[in-house]
A and B are shown apart, each in its own frame.
Chain A
Amino acid sequence: MNLLLEVFVKNGLLFDAAGVIGLGLLGLAALKLARRDESWGGSMMATGTVCLLLARLYFILERHLMNDDVLHAIGPVGISATIGLPPLLLTFGLAGIVWGLWGHDRWLSAKAR
């Protein structure tokens, strides 16, 4: 295998950590924007960030935690939730961040007028 590819594939957790740190910073910045300018866009962005973080943490933990015992313990409803919830969280998280940024931008321009 190519050495560069090997670095990327073997150090997946390192890059995941970078993504989680970035999302955490984004959430903090969104909260600060929401408090400083009292805009709903910042809160929406923070909500979206939390959704994305939850989905990401689930995907990271899934490899280490999920086995047959856990799946048996949580039952069919839990299994459907593990299948259905992460894509939903990813979708709403991305939409929330984009919508929040747009709303914050609109809020600032409306306030300036």
Chain B
Amino acid sequence: MTSLGADPILASIDGARPVFLIVMGICLVMICWRFAKNTHGWSPRLIMAGALLLGFGYAILLPLYEVGKIARPPSSGVTGSDAEMALACHALRIFSMNMGWLLLGLGLAIHTKVLTSAPRRQPLSTLTSHSS
């Protein structure tokens, strides 16, 4: 982890990870946008809401954490504007990452009909007539 204020060298692992996160966040939003165009009902809204939250988290929040522009929240009772800011960013990160996955998962699950039962392949009457 780099220290505060010092920008990491681009080719190092510490420098590549924020770039990777930004690229992945943007790719996630774009691919979900293309994917959501083929769906209908509530699933495209849920998928896009989740993808936007995740894109915000992955492309903006996490890289800022990685390069040390946002401080980790202090565990002890430190007060002041920095501590408030760190706590606010922490809360934003918890919300956007977890709700993003929840909404994206829910949207995809509704699209693929995981939550509804599969239609019966054989009509019930033929089953009962075989058994009797």
Q: A-side interface residues toward B, CB under 8 Å?
A: 1-2, 4-5, 8-9, 12, 15-16, 18-19, 21-30, 32-33, 36, 91, 94-95, 97-98, 101-102, 104-105, 108
Contacts and interface: CB of A to CB of B under 8 A. Distances in A.
A105 B34 contact: yes
Contacts, number: 96
B108 A23 contact: no
Interface of B: 17, 20-21, 24, 27-28, 31-32, 34-35, 38, 50, 58, 73, 84, 87-88, 90-91, 94-95, 97-106, 108-109, 111-114
A22 B95 contact: no
B114 A29 contact: yes
The SS class assigned to the B binding surface is helix
A95 B106 contact: no
Contacts of B103: 22
Q: 6 closest pairs, A vs B, by CB? A: A22-B102, A25-B105, A19-B98, A8-B91, A22-B105, A22-B101
A1 B87 contact: yes
B31 A25 contact: no
Given A19-B102, A91-B20, A102-B31, A8 B94 contact: yes
The SS class assigned to the A binding surface is helix
Contacts of A26: 101, 104-105, 108-109
Given A15-B94, A16-B98, A19-B101, A98 B109 contact: no
B95 A23 contact: no
B8 to A, nearest CB: 15
B114 A32 contact: yes
